[in-house]
Structure 1
Amino acid sequence: MNLQIQVKKPKSMAFILMLGAFIGLFGETALNMALSNIMEQFSIKAATAQWLTTGYLLVLAILVPVSALLMKWFTTRQLVVGGIIISLLGAILAAVSPSFAILLAGRLVQAIGTGLLLPVMTSVLLVIFPIHKRGVVMGLMGLVITLAPALGPTLSGVIISTLGWHYIFWISAVFYVLLSVFALAIIANVSEITKPKIDSLSILLSTIGFGGLIFALATMAEEAFSSAKVWLPLLAGIIALVFFCTRQLKMAQPMVNLRVFKYPMFTLGTVMMFLGILVILSTAILLPLYLKGALLFSAAVAGLLLLPGNAVNVILSPIVGALFDKWGPRLFVILGSIIVVIGNVIFVSVISAATPAWQIIAAFMVLFFGLTMVMMPSQTNALNQLPRELYGDGSAAMNTLNQVAGAAGTAIAISLFTAGQSSFVTDVPDASQGEILAAGVKYAFYFMTGISILGFICSLFVKKPGQVVKEQSAASAVKTTDPVHLQ
């Protein structure tokens, strides 16, 4: 059921996959610290600029479901090297962009490469390491998934202040070149090529479904819900997703095997990951706007203020990964979820136009202390319940929803940020720009506090897959010995 595939250099393979995914996920939020610079340079509003993040995530949400199919058509090496080279081309295009449209196009191309790498990383790591080492390995992968988008504003803040935002892409391009060389030499083929029939209708429904949903959420930042630009793509997206899910369940060889959601701990772990990513990406776009716009820090200082929170993530992730193998997921996800709620409550309590920097640092550290305890155990526990033949489908389904969460979180955060500013201006017409911006950010954090409370409720139901099997077996035994049943 959980057989390991032997490769010559599993650690080197893991490093290449994780670094490629890290650069791609770093790209999700790397421009957040530069949004104000880009808005000024290209004369655009925040609602338009946020498409640099939302568009990136939109492409990931559309492409990742298709990746489960691609892994059955192309070798591991082809997908990894192809993903890195496509990412490289996107980074170069964005680096030389003379206009916002070209910059956005470069971002979307780069997202295609990341969309190929992410699901491959998850499924490969699950089969090249034995199950007793999976906690540590998935802890490192969890570090990549949470640290990369969180570290984006920190590193890019320093780059923007010293070199300019274009160098975010030039530096990424250098790493992609090095990775492509090492990938060609080290990446081994571990996927099973079955070349199933390509279902064009499923791809179309998936694209319309996820694309329509995220486009509608992003458009809400500048349009009312009653606008056809919002409700029409939202309705189209929902209808397409209903048809997509129905079709996948009826197909002998579905594009994404939704039967993975019949495993309760996989479903619950995916929901926990979804909520966690939503909080991470919302925070990653709001805090740079707040630190630069309301507290008037430079990009470099604003980025460095977020560094202690990222340091907590770096230090704690491998520790949680190692202890997960001994203690299991339940303790971590419950305690972590409580801490995430506390972190969001602190943000709601302290955000203003005159908040001391140390309070923001402390709140961010608390938030990531909790998120680190939630993310890796939720993901590992979820995938551990699946049989090996469903790893690819499970990772594709989980990664898809993670990208939808990121895009939705970014879009909703900007929409609430805009709504909060408008409401505050109505109540306090003579407020300063800093006060207005702080009010918008605070308004969005109310939403994230609600999301974190929902995550805590979900955490109460987390169990080890083995415990679920035992309980199901016990329930079955009770049922078969029931006198009424025997009659």
Structure 2
Amino acid sequence: MSAVSATTKTSQLDLSNIKRGPIVVALIIGAFVSILNETLLANAIPELMKTFEVSAATIQWLSTAYMLVVGVLVPITALLQQWFTTRRMFLGAMAFFLAGTVVSAFAPEFGVLLTGRIIQALGTGLMLPVMMNTILAIYPPEKRGGAMGFIGLVIMFAPAIGPTLSGLILDSLSWRWLFYFVIPLAVFSIIFAAIYMKNVSEITKPKVDILSILLSTIGFGGIVYGFSSAGSGSWSDPEVYWTITAGVIALILFVLRQLKLPEPVMDLRAFKFPMFSLVTVLLVVVMMTLFSTMMLLPMFLQTALLMTAFKSGLIMLPGSIINGILAPVSGKLFDKFGPRVLVIPGLVLIILAIWMFTGVDVGTSTGYIVTIHIIMMIGISMVMMPAQTTGLNQLPRSLYPHGTAIMNTLTQVAGAVGTALFISIMSHGSKNYLSGSSDPKNPAELIKGMISGLHNAFWLGLIIGIVALGIGLFIKKTRPPEGEEGRMMGH
């Protein structure tokens, strides 16, 4: 199916009289519930290990399996969105998420809890691309920044309040309440979406290529699994390097197959649009730094400064709230001034924050850490959604599902790779410090070792941040290739 024929088909769908407000509200509620869940369990890990009598290596599967399912599912969403209506996709995603939440809430053993988390991940994996594709479909390019800003508010704010909220719940209730609390929210989201969600995409039902889906699953799954395992284990483990190798080989075969198929599962022709390609690379680099920093900072607060999970969550809350407030503002500014005035200063702020992190130690005040985190989150609010919108704006409508699937997949993989890379650098730096220590088992020395490794990881983050700034200097405002975009939507 050519891009032109797909565009012609899509144009038959009349979106001129569609009510955007209720659709956006439905998307925001669904996204908030599913994304909040990603960090809600973080504080409950020690309690879950005791309850189910499992090791740290086993319990981390609650996080690894979640990332793995999302990483495997997202590439296939481009195909699914051409087979099922927006409404069915959204309601299906929320139904999976609700079912997984109920299974997790009443899990009698660890295996059942893990199954529940995997079902939840199916919902989240379907939700993210559908959400972005819907915004692209119902808003003309000149108004997308503001809409994407509201989505950005949810994507950043929901996971940020997760640790604080779970800390509050766990102070007085059991871990099961982390799931009980989410059930009514998920039910409300399904009811609201059932009333207000409309279909905004044309069903083309392209041919399903089973081999492509298998290669995609092995490719993205192998890479996410391998790097996630390395982050919690060792790079020398055969399980790590063989799964990464298998993933890379499968991914190369997947790419080659997509370039030959007349109806690819993931249409890589999106990379023919230079700003989409540039922004995708930029987001991969930024996400590596972001995921890693969000992982390293709580470890520093809880291990080096001996804070409770609840207090570390509170410290990260001001920056996250400010980020949430600024996301829609950045979107409106993007609509008015374009991406450069936001993305370049935003990257400078991210670099400044990482540089400040390279100097933290046990004597660092809480106020200083809150300030650094606020600077970083302001920078992220200026970069993420404006850059994403710029890249997607250049694509023709037929490539929207593929563009959103490509971006979501690669950022998910970047998060797994970045987290594993930064944690292994921190561990290596800590071991190096302790190998030269006269008393390596002394708790004070262990903390110093951890801080030494942390500094190494942040220095790498600084280098990656500077690379991102170099890429960001080339970003510019884009327009979709077809001039009928505005008229087609009744604007």
With the length of structure 2 as denominator, give the TM-score of the two structures: 0.89
| Alignment partner of 2:358 out of 339, 342, 348 | 348
After alignment, is 176-185 or 50-59 more displaced? 50-59
Supply the distance in 2 between the matched residues of 1:104 and 1:283 (Cα, whole angstroms): 26
| Alignment partner of 1:372 out of 381, 404, 408 | 381
After alignment, is 49-58 or 210-219 more displaced? 49-58
1:5 aligned to 2:11?
no
| Alignment partner of 1:140 out of 147, 150, 154 | 150
After alignment, is 74-83 or 224-233 more displaced? 224-233
**CA 1:99–1:158 in structure 2 vs 1: closer, same or farther (change >3 Å)?**
same
Partner in structure 2 of residue 460 of structure 1: 473
SS in 2 for 1:193: coil
- Tell me by how many angstroms 1:465 deviates: 2.0
Q: Which runs of 5+ in 1 are unaligned?
A: 470-487
Supply the distance in 2 between the matched residues of 1:46 and 1:372 (Cα, whole angstroms): 33
Partner in structure 2 of residue 473 of structure 1: none
SS in 1 for 2:84: coil
**CA 1:378–1:222 in structure 2 vs 1: closer, same or farther (change >3 Å)?**
closer
1:230 aligned to 2:240?
yes
- Whichever residue aligns with residue 401 of structure 1, its letter is L
1:112 aligned to 2:122?
yes
Q: Which structure 2 residues correspond to residues 259-274 of structure 1 after superposition, within 5 A? A: 259-274=269-284
Is contact 2:150–2:327 with CA below 8 Å preserved after alignment? yes
SS in 2 for 1:402: helix
Supply the distance in 2 between the matched residues of 1:295 and 1:76 (Cα, whole angstroms): 47
The one-character-per-residue Cα deviations of 1:206-247 (angstroms, maximum 9, x if unpaired) are 010011111111222354433321111111111000000010
Partner in structure 2 of residue 334 of structure 1: 344
Supply the distance in 2 between the matched residues of 1:371 and 1:335 (Cα, whole angstroms): 10
Q: Which runs of 5+ in 2 are unaligned?
A: 1-6, 483-491
The one-character-per-residue Cα deviations of 1:343-400 (angstroms, maximum 9, x if unpaired) are 11111111x2343211211111111111111101100100110111111111111111
The one-character-per-residue Cα deviations of 1:184-225 (angstroms, maximum 9, x if unpaired) are 111111221111111110010001001111111122235443
- Tell me by how many angstroms 1:445 deviates: 2.5
After alignment, is 339-348 or 103-112 more displaced? 103-112
- Tell me by how many angstroms 1:414 deviates: 3.5
Supply the distance in 2 between the matched residues of 1:45 and 1:289 (Cα, whole angstroms): 18
The one-character-per-residue Cα deviations of 1:107-131 (angstroms, maximum 9, x if unpaired) are 2110100111111111111111233
- Whichever residue aligns with residue 82 of structure 1, its letter is G
- Tell me by how many angstroms 1:160 deviates: 2.7
SS in 1 for 2:83: coil
The one-character-per-residue Cα deviations of 1:265-316 (angstroms, maximum 9, x if unpaired) are 1111122222333333223332223322322222322211111111220221
After alignment, is 430-439 or 180-189 more displaced? 430-439
- Tell me by how many angstroms 1:48 deviates: 4.2
The one-character-per-residue Cα deviations of 1:36-81 (angstroms, maximum 9, x if unpaired) are 4444554555554433223211111100111111111111111111
Partner in structure 2 of residue 479 of structure 1: none
Is contact 2:81–2:130 with CA below 8 Å preserved after alignment? yes
Partner in structure 1 of residue 230 of structure 2: 220
After alignment, is 146-155 or 389-398 more displaced? 146-155
1:284 aligned to 2:288?
no
Is contact 2:393–2:479 with CA below 8 Å preserved after alignment? no
CA RMSD between the two structures: 2.4
**CA 1:401–1:149 in structure 2 vs 1: closer, same or farther (change >3 Å)?**
farther
1:186 aligned to 2:199?
no
Partner in structure 2 of residue 257 of structure 1: 267
Partner in structure 1 of residue 459 of structure 2: 446
The alignment covers a number of residue pairs equal to: 468
Is contact 1:91–1:172 with CA below 8 Å preserved after alignment? yes
Supply the distance in 2 between the matched residues of 1:450 and 1:163 (Cα, whole angstroms): 43
Sequence identity percentage: 43
Supply the distance in 2 between the matched residues of 1:112 and 1:89 (Cα, whole angstroms): 10
